[in-house]
């Protein structure tokens, strides 16, 4: 089955400083569809970020499918963003370059393009391109990532609840929250390397059981290094948190110097650990980088206070003696409600701000998988907030009453259990969200699109500002040369001598825009042939007309290019 999708960055026209959600291919040597006079010594691929050669796959095959590479991909000595693959001396004909790399945020990216060796290579053959459907959203990766996140959030929230909120209850049941904290820490310490192992297995296209081969590769990707640092920070948090809990006897209201130092160290380690998901994920690849990372960190910190605190309330409800349960909850629940209220406000504010940065249009909320995951997560959090509001308005006043009814504690347990389940599920939605590519900024430029076309050859008519545009794209297939023709007229008269350009924006993921100037092949007809549709999927084709006199006019077509 032919499925041609490729990144062949044929022009570097994006604004300086723009951020990519994935490793975008900016330049190839040979360039896509180029016809060379002689056999090239190598294929050079330049990306928008440094990629690890050990996870890269680059094949160069002839029309018969014979491999023509003469070694493994290697990082160029001239540029850390360039991969070089040596070639054998190749004969006259057409060749397919297929590549697959891992982005810094852990997402696999693949593509393909062709070139020819002349002087008479003939027409390009119909290459069979390997399947390019690969994703970081697999059940194994999602499940293991969720365990890492929920255990880390629970550990941080439980520690905070124990040290600041429930400290007055230490004489009642001093060890229950500490035990829950140690369980969460242990799960996080075990789950993190397992997750890195699973992710590395997918990066390297190996079985997760090949531990001996995978362990040396686990720190070779920026993503893997980030999560191995997370393991170290969680261990530091465990040590400092353990010391803080050990020295805190609550015999006096005033904390000792040793307790203050240990608690401060534990909070710093926890804060650093919660920073890793942002630094190793989408936030670090999104501009403005500092603001994006800060918002992600605040979002995760507030989530940890909420989910860990909810788990802690359930632990207290279960561990406190029945005779003292109401009194203990009457002390702890109102204090936690204040913390939860602030954390929820911070969670909502940081989440909305991060979504504004990453979503190019409001329509991307329901029009992309990334936006749909945000909606699911928001719906779960909204349901959890309803239960939290009931607790705040009914249970909290009931617990503060001089003779609190026994039913208040039962209602509290049920509401907190439901709230915990909803928040934990929302964390799962957040895990899926972090595994999906954010929608490309190019979506913001197609709000004025006036036509949808494809798959297959295009012939569509658009009108704007008195001009009539008839756009033809043939064969409208990815990774092959396509002919783009635009007939332009005004009042039935062909428009002569204008400057006409076409911009190509990939709408399914972030990559460089391509811009070509069309030549006037006859009066009012402008044309250009190029492999501009370098990837299967949805493209925004923007035709801009600059007449000899008058203002420029643009029309946009959303095209679906097939393989």
- Give yes or no for residue 536 having a pLDDT over 80: no
Query: In 3-state terms, what secondary structure has residue 167?
Result: helix
- Angle between helix axes 139-160 and 176-204 (nearest 10 degrees) is 150
Distance CA 188, CA 181 (A): 11
Higher pLDDT, residue 241 or 480: 241
Q: Clarify whether residues 372 and 448 are in a common domain.
A: no
501 — phi, psi (to 5°)? -125, 160
- pLDDT > 70? residue 339: yes
The pLDDT, as a whole number, for residue 3 is 34
Distance CA 4, CA 484 (A): 19
The stretch 185-204 carries a mean pLDDT of 92
Assess whether 36 and 59 both reside in one domain: yes
Q: What phi and psi, each to the nearest 5 degrees, are found at residue 211?
A: -60, -40
Assess whether pLDDT exceeds 90 at residue 218: no
pTM of the entire structure? 0.77
How far apart, in whole angstroms, are the C-alpha atoms of residue 231 and residue 236?
9
Give the Cα separation of 560 and 456 in Å (integer).
8
Residue 181: its pLDDT value, please?
96
**128 shares a domain with 210:** no
Separation between Cα atoms, residue 292 and residue 307, nearest integer Å: 22
Q: Which pLDDT score is estimated for 404? A: 58
Residues 205 and 315 in one domain: yes
pLDDT at 112: 77
Check whether 194 has a pLDDT greater than 90: yes
- The pLDDT value recorded for residue 9 is 31
Is 60 exceeded by the pLDDT of residue 10? no
- Residue after which a domain boundary falls, among 377, 403, 435: 435
The reported pLDDT for the residue numbered 459 is 94
Q: Per-residue pLDDT for 508 more than 80?
A: no
Residue 124 reports pLDDT greater than 70:
yes
Indicate whether 277 and 204 sit together in one domain: yes
**What domain count does the chain have?**
3
Task: Provide the pLDDT for residue 556.
Answer: 92
- Is 537 or 154 the better-scoring residue by pLDDT? 154
- Between the CA atoms of 364, 370, 373 and 375, what dihedral angle is there, to the nearest 10 degrees? -20
What residues are paired with 463 via a beta bridge?
468
403 vs 34: which has the higher pLDDT: 34
Average pLDDT, the chain: 85
Q: Clarify whether residues 128 and 175 are in a common domain.
A: no
Q: Of 134, 151, 174, which marks where a domain is finished?
A: 134
pLDDT-based confidence at residue 497 (cuts at 50, 70, 90): very high
268 and 385 share a domain? yes
In this structure, the answer to whether residues 126 and 162 fall within a common structural domain is no
**Domain match, 145 and 247 both:** yes
| Residue of 528 and 13 predicted with greater confidence | 528
**Burial environment of residue 55 by CB neighbours within 10 A (0 to 12, 13 to 18, 19 or more):** buried
Q: How far is CA 19 from the centre of its chain?
A: 13
At residue 81, does pLDDT exceed 50?
yes
Tell the burial category of 403 from Cβ atoms under 10 Å away from its Cβ (0-12, 13-18, 19+).
Answer: exposed
pLDDT recorded at residue 5:
32
Q: Which of 19-28, 78-87, 211-220 has the lowest mean pLDDT?
A: 19-28
Together in a domain, 473 and 449: yes
Token pair of 190 as six digits: 């075990």
Least confident of 316-330, 345-359, 482-496: 316-330
520, 429, 475: which is closest to 126 by C-alpha? 475
Q: pLDDT tens digits for 395-432?
A: 777 777 666 566 777 888 889 999 999 999 999 999 98
* Percent of the chain residues topping a pLDDT of 90: 45
Q: What local confidence, expressed as pLDDT, does residue 17 receive? A: 31
pLDDT above 60 for 552? yes
Contact (Cβ atoms closer than 8 angstroms) between residue 3 and residue 479: no
Q: What are phi and psi of 548, to 5 degrees?
A: -60, -30
Q: What is the residue whose two structure tokens read 């650093």?
A: 272
| Per-residue three-class SS string for 131-159 | CCCCCCCCHHHHHHHHHHHHHHHHHHHHH
d(CA 274, CA 231): 11
Token pair for 279: 């630094």
Cβ-based neighbour number of residue 299 at 10 Å: 24
* 194, 330: one domain: yes
Domain end residue (candidates: 374, 400, 435): 435
Judge whether 295 and 350 are in contact, CB under 8 Å: yes
Specify the CATH number for the domain of residue 108: 2.60.40.1220
Reduce the DSSP state of residue 355 to 3 states and report it: helix
Q: Is omega for the bond preceding 81 within 30 degrees of 0, making it cis?
A: no
The pLDDT of residue 411: 83
Q: Is 162:149 a contact under the CB 8 Å cutoff?
A: no
CATH number of the domain within which 530 lies: 2.60.40.1930
Start-to-end C-alpha separation, the chain: 9
Which of 85, 114, 79 is CA-nearest to residue 101? 85
**pLDDT at residue 166, as a whole number:** 86
pLDDT tens column, 12-25: 222 233 334 467 77
Average pLDDT value for residue range 240-258: 81
Pairing of strands 25-29, 57-62: unpaired
130 and 148 share one domain: no
Distances from the Cα of 58 to the Cα of 53, 187, 471, angstroms: 10, 38, 35
pLDDT of residue 2: 33
Q: How far apart are CA 114 and CA 176, in angstroms?
A: 64
Residue 477 belongs to what domain range? 443-561
Going by DSSP bridges, is the β-strand pair 499-506/467-474 parallel, antiparallel, or unpaired? unpaired
Q: Distance between CA 315 and CA 174 in Å, rounded?
A: 12
Cα distance between residue 223 and residue 387, in whole Å = 36
Q: In the prediction, which pLDDT does 449 show?
A: 58
With a cut of 80, say whether residue 481 has pLDDT above it: no
Whole-angstrom Cα Rg for the chain: 29
| Structure confidence at residue 174 as a pLDDT band (50, 70, 90) | low
């Amino acid at each position: 089955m032919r499925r041609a999708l490729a990144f062949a960055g044929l022009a570097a026209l994006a604004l300086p400083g723009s951020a990519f959600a994935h490793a975008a291919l900016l330049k190839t040597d040979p360039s896509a569809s180029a016809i060379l006079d002689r056999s090239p010594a190598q294929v050079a691929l330049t990306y928008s970020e440094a990629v690890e050669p050990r996870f890269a796959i680059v094949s160069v095959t002839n029309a018969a499918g014979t491999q023509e590479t003469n070694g493994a991909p290697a990082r160029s000595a001239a540029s850390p963003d360039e991969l070089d693959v040596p070639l054998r001396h190749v004969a006259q004909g057409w060749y397919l370059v297929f590549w697959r790399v891992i982005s810094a945020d852990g997402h696999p990216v693949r593509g393909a393009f062709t070139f020819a060796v002349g002087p008479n290579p003939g027409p390009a053959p119909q290459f069979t391109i390997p399947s390019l459907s690969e994703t970081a959203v697999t059940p194994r990766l999602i499940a293991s990532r969720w365990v890492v996140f929920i255990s880390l959030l629970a550990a941080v929230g439980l520690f905070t609840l124990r040290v600041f909120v429930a400290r007055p209850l230490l004489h009642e049941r001093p060890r229950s929250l500490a035990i829950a904290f140690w369980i969460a820490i242990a799960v996080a310490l075990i789950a993190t390397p397992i997750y890195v192992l699973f992710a590395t297995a997918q990066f390297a296209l190996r079985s997760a059981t090949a531990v001996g081969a995978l362990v040396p590769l686990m720190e070779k990707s920026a993503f893997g290094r980030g999560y191995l640092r997370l393991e170290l920070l969680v261990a530091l948090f465990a040590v400092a948190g353990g010391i803080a809990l050990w020295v805190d006897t609550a015999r006096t209201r005033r904390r000792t110097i040793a307790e203050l130092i240990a608690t401060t160290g534990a909070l710093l380690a926890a804060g650093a650990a919660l920073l890793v998901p942002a630094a190793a994920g989408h936030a670090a690849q999104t501009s403005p980088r500092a603001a994006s990372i800060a918002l992600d960190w605040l979002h995760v910190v507030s989530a940890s206070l909420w989910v860990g605190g909810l788990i802690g309330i359930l632990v207290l409800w279960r561990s406190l003696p029945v005779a003292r349960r109401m009194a203990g909850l009457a002390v702890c629940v109102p204090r936690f409600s204040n913390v939860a209220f602030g954390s929820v406000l911070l969670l909502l504010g940081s989440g909305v701000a991060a979504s504004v940065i990453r979503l190019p249009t409001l329509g991307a909320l329901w029009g992309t998988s990334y936006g749909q995951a945000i909606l699911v997560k928001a719906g779960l959090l909204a349901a959890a907030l309803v239960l939290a509001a009931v607790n705040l308005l009914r249970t909290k006043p009931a617990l503060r009453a001089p003779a609190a009814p026994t039913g208040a504690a039962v209602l509290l347990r049920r509401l907190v259990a439901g709230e915990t389940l909803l928040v934990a599920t929302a964390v799962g939605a957040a895990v899926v969200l972090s595994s999906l590519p954010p929608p490309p900024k190019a979506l913001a430029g197609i709000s004025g699109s006036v036509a949808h076309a494809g798959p297959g050859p295009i012939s569509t008519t658009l009108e704007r500002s008195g001009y009539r545009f008839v756009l033809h794209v043939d064969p409208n297939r990815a990774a092959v040369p396509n002919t783009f023709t635009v007939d332009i007229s005004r009042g039935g008269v062909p428009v002569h001598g204008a400057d006409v350009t076409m911009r190509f924006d990939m709408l399914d993921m972030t990559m460089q825009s391509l811009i070509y100037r069309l030549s006037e092949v006859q009066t009012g007809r402008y044309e250009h042939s190029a492999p501009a549709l370098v990837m299967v999927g949805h493209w925004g084709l923007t035709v801009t007309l600059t007449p000899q006199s008058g203002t420029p006019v643009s029309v946009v077509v959303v095209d679906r290019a097939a393989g």
